[in-house]
Amino acid sequence: VDTICRNGRELELFDLLQRELHSHIFSIVKSISECEVDDSDIHEALEYLKHVQDAWKRHRRDLGLVRNIFLPLDNFLAAVGGILPEEKDSLRTRKNLPIGLREMGLGMLKKDMCAWDDKRS
């Protein structure tokens, strides 16, 4: 989490995201980044993921920042076998972990981001 707070602009958005999310939910991403989350937190992590998705949709010009917040969470969900709703082939991809964990990365958000980038260019 610290690495995404070095740039002043990113820090500003990071604080904005923190204010938008319930503080107890927001703290989950720090635990995930520090590998302190156990499997019993999977449902709470999924709830946090929904909040991050909503925040991402509101701050699309800062894709890099939101990606950095989201990636540790998605990696955690993947590692414990969490399945994102409406994600095609999630069972197949997540059973193959840890191979390609980072490449799989953003899960269903990746498709949204690519579609949005295509519209911009």
Q: pLDDT tens for residues 63-118?
A: 565 566 666 665 655 555 554 444 444 444 444 333 333 333 434 344 444 454 55
Per-residue pLDDT, 21: 54
Per-residue pLDDT, 92: 43
Residue 9: give the domain boundaries: 2-120
Look at the chain and report how many structural domains it folds into.
Answer: 1
Q: What is the largest CA-CA distance in the chain?
A: 42
For the whole model, what pTM was predicted?
0.32
H helices then E strands: how many in the chain? 7, 0
The SS3 assignment for 96 reads coil
Q: pLDDT tens for residues 19-48?
A: 655 454 455 555 555 555 555 556 666 666
Per-residue pLDDT, 113: 45
Closest of 102, 100, 26 to residue 71, by C-alpha: 102
| Consecutive H or E run containing 62 | none
